[in-house]
Amino acid sequence: MSSSSLTLYATRAGFGLPDTSPFVIKTEVQLKMAGLAYDRTSAIPPQAPNGKLPFINDHDEVMSDSTFIRAHIERKYGVDLDEGLDARQRAESWAIERLLEDHLYFAMVWFRWIDPENFAKGPAHFADSAPEADRAQLRHDMQARKAVELHAQGLGRHSPARIAELGKHSIDALSQLLGDKPYLMGGSSGGVDATAFGVLACVITPFFDTPLRRAAEAHPNLVDYVARMMQRYYPEHVW
Ligand SMILES: N[C@@H](CCC(=O)N[C@@H](CS)C(=O)NCC(=O)O)C(=O)O
């Protein structure tokens, strides 16, 4: 990699999405919002300093975790992705991000990774490049690791119906918070929209059949919001 470049280490396009990870989508949209040129390359979590994607290499400065990546680009390039927002709106943006990343994300992950049909059509294919004899064990191990993670986080201790109920609460709240505005904080898109778009696109993608998707599709403002963000930041992506 050239030391004169900024590289985003992403997962890859898939599941009907420009990237399978909502955190990668968030960071990529924030790089676009900041107007920064970057290269994008596929990586796997063990290559990341913290074992999770995304991470960036910015002229030999490596930064992981989407929130710290955002802080890095705002500081280094003198941009404010919350420009125009007052202190209360900035606080609301942070609270909405926490709801998305620390709650709705995990409900989405449960229906993607633990639901047997969705796992088989989705994440199970991450093992496709392994030798055929190893694939079944690899798939079992990947899914078991996610189950442990979800159990530790807490949502994984509930029945699918209860996980769906909790996720729906967050989806309904997001719909109320968005209302009839084009973006969460008003007329222009800000940092929080990158996060909301990433998670909501992963919820709404037609690739998976989930109760969360149906809950989101019941809110035309959320469906339009995701389509609006997709058109603006990934115009080349067929949604
Ligand atoms: N807090 C991190 C979360 C990133 C994250 O959870 N990335 C997932 C992909 S969606 C990952 O790499 N998981 C791999 C693993 O947990 O082993 C961020 O904001 O970047």
Q: Are residues 116 and 60 both part of a single domain?
A: no
Q: Are residues 96 and 214 both part of a single domain?
A: yes
Residues 225, 91, 34, 108, Cα dihedral to 10°:
-50
Is 225 within 8 Å of 216 (Cβ atoms)?
Answer: no
Total domain count for the chain? 2
CATH of the domain at 46: 3.40.30.10
SS3 content of the chain, % helix, strand, coil (to 5): 60, 10, 30
Q: Which of 77, 105, 135 is the last residue of a domain?
A: 77
Of all protein residues, the one whose alpha carbon is nearest to atom 19 of ligand 1 is: 66
Q: Are residues 215 and 122 both part of a single domain?
A: yes
Specify the amino acid at residue 17.
L
Determine, yes or no, domain membership for 238.
no
Per-residue pLDDT, 3: 47
Question: Which position has the token pair 């409900």?
Answer: 107
CATH of the domain at 136: 1.20.1050.10
Among candidates 1, 6, 31, 5, which has minimal Cα distance to 18?
31
Determine, yes or no, domain membership for 131.
yes
Give me the domain span that covers residue 73.
Answer: 6-77
6 DSSP β-pair partners: 58
Of all protein residues, the one whose alpha carbon is nearest to atom 10 of ligand 1 is: 21
Per-residue pLDDT, 4: 55
Across the chain, which has 239 residues, the per-10-residue mean pLDDT values are: 78 98 98 98 97 98 98 98 97 98 98 98 96 97 98 98 98 98 96 98 98 98 98 97
Among candidates 227, 228, 223, which has minimal Cα distance to 188?
228
Q: Which of 77, 97, 113 is the last residue of a domain?
A: 77
Q: Which of 19, 47, 77 is the last residue of a domain?
A: 77
What residues does ligand 1 touch, defined as CB less than 6 Å away? 21, 23, 45, 51-54, 65-67
Instruction: Choose which residue among 8, 9, 53 to substitute to test ligand 1 binding: the one with the highest number of ligand atoms within 8 A of its C-beta.
Output: 53
Instruction: Choose which residue among 9, 23, 108 to substitute to test ligand 1 binding: the one with the highest number of ligand atoms within 8 A of its C-beta.
Output: 23
Cα of 182 from ligand 1 centre, angstroms: 28
Q: Are residues 182 and 71 both part of a single domain?
A: no
How many C-beta neighbours within 10 Å does residue 159 have? Answer: 8
Per-residue pLDDT, 1: 47
Of all protein residues, the one whose alpha carbon is nearest to atom 11 of ligand 1 is: 52
